[in-house]
Amino acid sequence: MDKVYESPAAALADLDDGASIAVSGFGQSAGAPVSLLAALRERSSRELCLVANGLPPGADPIVEGGRVRHLIVSFTARSGRSSATDQLLSTGAMTFELVPQGTLVERLRAGGAGLGAIFTPTGLNTPIAEGKEVRCFDGKPYLLEPAIRVDYAFITAHRADRLGNVEFRGANRHLAPSFAKAARVAIVEVDEIVEAGELPPERIDLPGIFVARVVRKTVANTLPKYGLHRRPADIAREYNGKPGRTRLQIAEQAADLLPEPSYVNLGLGIPSHLSSFVEDRDIILQGENGILGYGEIVDDDELYPDVFNASGVSVTPRPGISYFDSVTSFEMIRSGRVDVVVLGAYQVDAEGSVANWAVPGMTGGGIGGAMDLVASGGTVMVLMEHRGSNGEPKLVQRCAFPLTGKACVDIVVTDLAVFRRRDGVLAIDSVAPGFTAEEVWALTEMDVPAAGVRNGAGGM
């Protein structure tokens, strides 16, 4: 049962028009199957349905060529990056379904497990729930989400043997196992192909029964890891002629509020910097890409190959680190085992509702794992600058943008203040040096609660 093909092109020889393809990868490009995407670009297959967390830049020529009819993704757009996808979606030339990351991976897992659907708490009270069946179990509401099955899956791994047994490396398994299991034909591109028996059984992360074809990588992954316009983390925004906290200082302030011991999930943007401020504390960081126990961000991407956070940014492995797939990661999240989730946001309102995946004028957006995280039952902390780059308010009386979660935020840390939700409303807990509570409220477009300001941020 030799599953090795001579080339990516040979492995795709029967991929016809109308095929559905699950394309693995995380962040901008981590784990992107670049060799298989390059082979797909050379084919004439059209009317494709692509399923992905977010399409890596390597898929852009396929989309730009008008060869894709439908997307099922967690990200149709990413901050700082624009592409032909945006234009095609806005004109209706290509349709899409936006799915929370944990729901996406679970729907694919269900498809691979021979199940018809799942029920999930993720997305309740948001646009994702519109038109979907809601059913209660043990007094709690859940959304019905159908399983996803695909014709092909493109995944990447470190090694595979000729029987199709696969070994991943570090955090680079993420969505790949569930994508492979949901596919009629799962194709894996690897750094190395070995003979059957050369992979130790305990290091086989995906059994060969789920893999149809194996090819050696022919294209290096040189795709960009980050968005085009990453904000400097050490430059403060000014208010009333005075500097607030920098993005790094926001993260440092937030780190001081974390309880010990605790498991903490860090989101994209400012929250990702928090990992640089918990090294000596009894805090274990978790990422929805499938990593538990990582440390600070490192600039050298080659120092720790395949060790990265949910932003796709390279990080240090701490003693006791573990890696797993995204199904396991979201089991940790939805089961309430993650104590604190730290997110960025576009808006937070007075009752603690949060919007962080879409703004007016955007077609689709970037949900990622945020909806799963705010529905987890853990403490929800939002880190953001007090006002946007154009001076627009981010703390508002009621969110005008599509909700990520309703009345779920417990703490907000901005460059001007720390807010806590008490008795159903946000109130100032402490202010940044050089500012007063009155100044902060004047820059905040929500009603001032009777609680006013409480001195001292304290812990949770």
What interhelical angle do 326-334 and 101-112 show, nearest 10?
120
Q: Which residues pair with 154 in a beta bridge?
A: 23, 187
Among candidate residues 288, 302, 351, 439, the one labeled active-site is 288
Phi then psi for residue 202, to 5 deg, are: -75, -10
Would you call 288 a catalytic residue per the annotation? Answer: yes
Q: Closest Cα to residue 237, out of 441, 427, 9, 414? A: 414
Angle at 200 between CA 197 and CA 202, to 5 degrees: 135
Asked, as a colleague might, if the bond just before 261 is cis with ω within 30 of 0, I would say yes
**CA–CA separation, 417 vs 415, rounded Å?**
6
Question: CA dihedral in degrees (312, 316, 320, 325; nearest 10)?
Answer: 10
| Cβ within 8 Å of residue 201, ≥6 positions away | none
**CA–CA separation, 16 vs 155, rounded Å?**
19
391: phi > 0 → left, psi -120 to 50 → alpha, else beta; which?
left
**CA–CA separation, 382 vs 268, rounded Å?**
11
Residue found under tokens 């402490």: 430
**CA–CA separation, 102 vs 4, rounded Å?**
32
- Six-digit token string for 267: 């989101």
**CA–CA separation, 63 vs 86, rounded Å?**
10
**CA–CA separation, 299 vs 226, rounded Å?**
12
Contact indicator for 80, 227 with CB cutoff of 8 Å: yes
**CA–CA separation, 177 vs 75, rounded Å?**
20
| Cβ within 8 Å of residue 7, ≥6 positions away | 39, 215, 218
**CA–CA separation, 189 vs 43, rounded Å?**
18
**CA–CA separation, 195 vs 186, rounded Å?**
19
- Six-digit token string for 288: 């929805």
**CA–CA separation, 320 vs 44, rounded Å?**
47
Phi then psi for residue 428, to 5 deg, are: -70, 130
| Neighbour tally for 452: CB within 10 Å | 11
Residues assigned a catalytic role:
288
